[in-house]
A and B are shown apart, each in its own frame.
Chain A
Amino acid sequence: MKWDEFFVTGDPLIYGADVSIALTTAGILFYLTYFKKWKWLWTEWLTTVDHKKLGIMYIVSAVLMLFRGGVDALLMRTQLAVPEAKFLDSQHYNEIFTTHGTIMIIFMAMPFLIGLINVVVPLQIGARDVAYPYLNAVSFWTFFIGAMLFNISFIIGGSPSAGWTSYMPLASNEMSPGPGQNYYLLGLQIAGIGTLLTGINFLVTILKMRAPGMTLFRMPMFTWSSLVTMVIIIFAFPILTVALALMTFDRLFGSHFFTLQGEGMDMLWANLFWLWGHPEVYIVILPAFGMFSEIISTFSRKTLFGYKAMIWSMLLIAGYSFLVWVHHFFTMGSGAVVNSVFSITTMAIGIPTGVKIFNWLFTMYRGKIEFATPMLWSLGFIVNFVIGGVTGVMLAMAAADYQYHNTYFLVSHFHYVLIAGTVFACFAGLVYWYPKMFGYKLNERIGKWVFWLFTIGFNICFFPQYFLGLDGMPRRVYTYSEESGWGPLNMVSTIGGFMMGVAFLILVYNMYYSFRYAKRETHGDAWNGRTLEWSTPSAMPPFYNFAKIPVVKSLDHFWRQKQEGKVEKLTIKDIKPIHMPSNSGVPFIMASFFFIAGFGMVFEWMWMGALGLIGVFGTLIYRSFEYDDGYYVSEEEIIKTEKISN
């Protein structure tokens, strides 16, 4: 392989990206060295097993990926703003919509939610950490390395261009030669390991680490939604693992699972992909539902309406999520009977979702509603998500789907559910739990500007796309003719897209602004909350979370304590030494070996792939022989941290 094949060349946009990556890297290296931050980076972050810090790293990575995926989106919108534009050529456009979709789902939505789950769930259940803190670090670093491997594709070797669904035979060696598609396969495979481990980790955490008295039906709704999500992850992700592995074998070792030769079956890929892919969309929406439940309850000052109905509807959704996958390809020859069955299951899944919508509305009914920024996002979610849901039921009708399939109608539908559902939830959750993570709130005035600009921009961007779709505009086309008449609505859509981009920049500015100017919280209860994470005396919980594990007597235990004026104060005799896990650099090193293995296999340099895998096994063995039982935090240190004087 020559150098000009190794690095992507010839496109000024890519050269610009090369320069900005080089400058950013140099800037970070300079900062770390000049301010002597290397040791701080290693001991505080790279080796941490603290769920709150890992959560923050997840969220920071997700925000970076949101930027990357968002730039991809704006490049596409720029190309589509006017008919027959020459901004991007077809190959470049294909690469961009592929990376946009993959990054937004796998490397933005999931880590954003998993990050918030990491920060919040152990606190909500009154635990000092997760069940397997070390494994949690492995999860984060494999996700991070998988994301980085996928992301470098556009400057080294070329990006995948077969869509985030990577249908065969389009994704085969014949039609997608080169390393691009391999980046997709290996990047997702490595990140998928982390996701599966997160699933096991948090399932056990929620089942086994709850504070005394917190029965399953006293758990906060966000914890419940996380529990259900973890179950879906555990059963869905192995399917993706297999599907990716089989396609990797097809591309690297000449097997015939999905190829046209050797009697392979291309539709098998579509089935396996969506057998994972549909549960996946519930993996990214259920935690969002959980967050909205917490936020709406908090800012209506009322207990969540229909608590048990919420739980049962989530369990139903989780079950249904495995029974609807064929609706992603009604037009691909499954036949009338099969299509009818999946049409009905798909419509049925709207019922438990509708139950939840009504529960949120009834929670607000007669509540004392406070329009804080997280609440605004939640209200915006209800309105916009319903539009996405209703168009989803339209798509669920198999016969009608022949009209909508592969058009902008579908594009608009899934952006209405994924943005108004997942992205709104990420923003709402970020703002809501920001004081828990950093000790101060994001500025509310700027936050409301972000909300309105983003929500209006979102509707300007995507509402016209329903009409473009009904008018026949297919998705994934890099340009269209003047005569099609699609120009004006596309221009409107592009304007909306850029409004969302501006709103994102203001959100980031708000982080900087609030870091500089926001009033620091003096206690742990920033929003007059209901659940245990708000019961810590300090704004940011200490690394051991709770000096004394709370004893839970009811749902919304902390809220009731406040109502009854019975919030317990810590006293010296409550303090006992606390056992905590030790930090470890092994997860980071293991993930680095995964990177070497993945990179080698992307370029089919098998020696390098083998080397990386040997390194991975080496770190596994090292860990197996390491007997580290953690350490105890002394009573003096806890007393000092908790500022107990009596």
Chain B
Amino acid sequence: MAHAETHDPNTPLEYRSETGRLNILGFWIFLGAEIALFATLFATYMVLTHRIADGPALGALFEVKSLLIQTFLLLTSSFTCGLAIHEMRRHNVKGLMTWMIVTLGLGLGFLYFEIQEFLHFIHEGANIGTSAAWSGFFVLVGTHGAHVTFGIFWVIMILIQVARRGLTPATSAKVFISSLYWHFLDVVWIFIFTAVYLMGMVMQHG
């Protein structure tokens, strides 16, 4: 599968090996499964969102400032991730590394503010065991956060491989796949932003 193939010179590096092409397609399908997974979590959250028992309402604790910072960081990281892939297409390893490291930095910033927010909620008396609504919130948003955390470690591993081996059909396919993952998490966040935070605050303040 790794034997020499002839290519249109415009074929991106990550599509130049059979393994690369198969892995990218497989990852797209995996993202389909991820959509089913998050859809289930969203449905669960929406069913439970008003079942607050004796605990605080969700919208009552949400804060616009923290939300906007998180959103800004994550959406920007998706943009820088796109720049990194752009540099990869230009065979510019340094540009790829730089933008990917910026992406990771923004991702870490997002995580920092998300964890701060979770700690704040817990301090205010809302944790996973407070009510069905808060269980739904922490597991939906937490699953997204866990994905971001996993992504950060994953991208670091891949960048080490790029640093060692340079850009090859194998390493570039890995970078490209991790970028698909990163953009996907961004899309999920947009839904969380809307369905969890905006709707939560609108319901609260009407």
Contacts and interface: CB of A to CB of B under 8 A. Distances in A.
A253 B29 contact: no
B195 interface: no
Nearest to B136: A257
A480 interface: no
Contacts of B138: 255
B40 A204 contact: no
A263 B22 contact: no
A630 B1 contact: yes
Contacts of A237: 33
From DSSP, what is the main secondary structure of chain B's interface residues?
Answer: helix
Contact of A624 (B130, B133, B135, B158): B158
Given A265-B47, A625-B161, A255 B32 contact: no
B26 A201 contact: yes
Interface in B113-171: 128-133, 135-136, 138-139, 157-158, 161, 165, 170
B36 A243 contact: no
A629 to B, nearest CB: 5
Contacts of B161: 624-625
B131 A200 contact: no
Nearest to B50: A263
Contacts of A239: 36-37, 40
Given A238-B40, A242-B44, A254-B128, A627 B170 contact: yes
A235 B26 contact: no
Nearest to A242: B40
B51 interface: yes
A621 interface: yes
B48 interface: yes
Contacts of B53: 256, 261-263
B137 to A, nearest CB: 10
B131 A625 contact: no
A36 to B, nearest CB: 35
A475 interface: no
B29 A255 contact: no
Nearest to B27: A200
A234 interface: yes
Nearest to A255: B135
A621 B160 CA distance: 12
Interface in B43-64: 44, 47-48, 51-53, 55
Contacts of B41: 242
B202 interface: no
A241 B37 contact: yes
B26 A131 contact: yes
Contacts of A204: 22, 25-26, 29
Contacts of B133: 263
B36 A200 contact: no
Contacts of A272: 40, 44
B44 A208 contact: no
A246 interface: yes
Given A246-B139, A265-B47, A253 B2 contact: no
B22 A131 contact: yes
B48 A265 contact: yes
Interface string A244-271: 0110011001111101011111001000
A624 B175 CA distance: 12
Given A262-B53, A624-B157, A257 B170 contact: no
Contacts of A132: 22-23, 26
B128 A238 contact: no
B34 interface: yes
Interface string A473-494: 0000000000000000000000
B58 to A, nearest CB: 13
A234 B32 contact: yes
B22 A208 contact: yes
Contacts of B34: 238
A249 B29 contact: no
Nearest to A207: B25
Contacts of A349: none
Contact of A200 (B33, B48, B136, B139): B33
A555 interface: no
Interface string A190-204: 000000100111011
B25 to A, nearest CB: 6
Interface string A597-641: 000000000000000000000000100110101100000000000
Interface in A220-244: 234-239, 241-243
A68 to B, nearest CB: 30
Nearest to B19: A629
Given A200-B30, A200-B33, A237-B33, A257 B48 contact: yes
Interface in A87-131: 131
B35 to A, nearest CB: 8
Contacts of A553: none
Contact of B29 (A203, A246, A627, A629): A203
A127 B201 CA distance: 55
A621 B154 CA distance: 8
A557 to B, nearest CB: 24
Contacts of B32: 234-235
B3 interface: yes
Contact of B157 (A262, A268, A625): A625
A561 B181 CA distance: 46
A238 B33 contact: yes
A253 B128 contact: yes
A242 B136 contact: no
B4 to A, nearest CB: 12
A579 interface: yes
B48 A268 contact: yes
Nearest to A624: B157
Residue in A196, A199, A204, A246 whose Cβ sees the most chain B Cβ within 10 Å: A204
Contact of A255 (B21, B26, B128): B128
Nearest to A577: B3
B36 A256 contact: no
A627 B171 CA distance: 10
B37 A264 contact: no
B44 A234 contact: no
Contacts of B26: 131-132, 200-201, 204
B153 to A, nearest CB: 8
A150 to B, nearest CB: 22
Interface string A177-201: 0000000000000000000100111
B124 to A, nearest CB: 17
A562 to B, nearest CB: 32
Contacts of A629: 1-2
Given A238-B36, A239-B36, A265-B47, A254 B129 contact: yes
A239 B42 CA distance: 11
B67 to A, nearest CB: 23
Residue in A236, A250, A257 whose Cβ sees the most chain B Cβ within 10 Å: A257
A201 B32 CA distance: 13
A196 B135 contact: no
Contacts of A238: 33-34, 36-37, 40
Interface of B: 1-3, 21-23, 25-26, 29-30, 32-34, 36-37, 40-41, 44, 47-48, 51-53, 55, 128-133, 135-136, 138-139, 157-158, 161, 165, 170, 174
27 contacts: A131-B22, A200-B30, A204-B25, A208-B21, A234-B33, A234-B36, A237-B33, A249-B135, A254-B129, A255-B128, A255-B129, A255-B139, A256-B130, A256-B131, A257-B135, A257-B136, A259-B132, A262-B53, A262-B55, A262-B135, A263-B53, A264-B132, A265-B48, A265-B51, A265-B132, A579-B1, A630-B1
> 3 smallest A-B Cβ distances: which pairs?
A263-B51, A238-B37, A255-B135
Given A203-B29, A262-B55, 9 more contacts: A204-B26, A234-B32, A235-B32, A236-B36, A261-B53, A262-B129, A262-B130, A263-B51, A624-B174
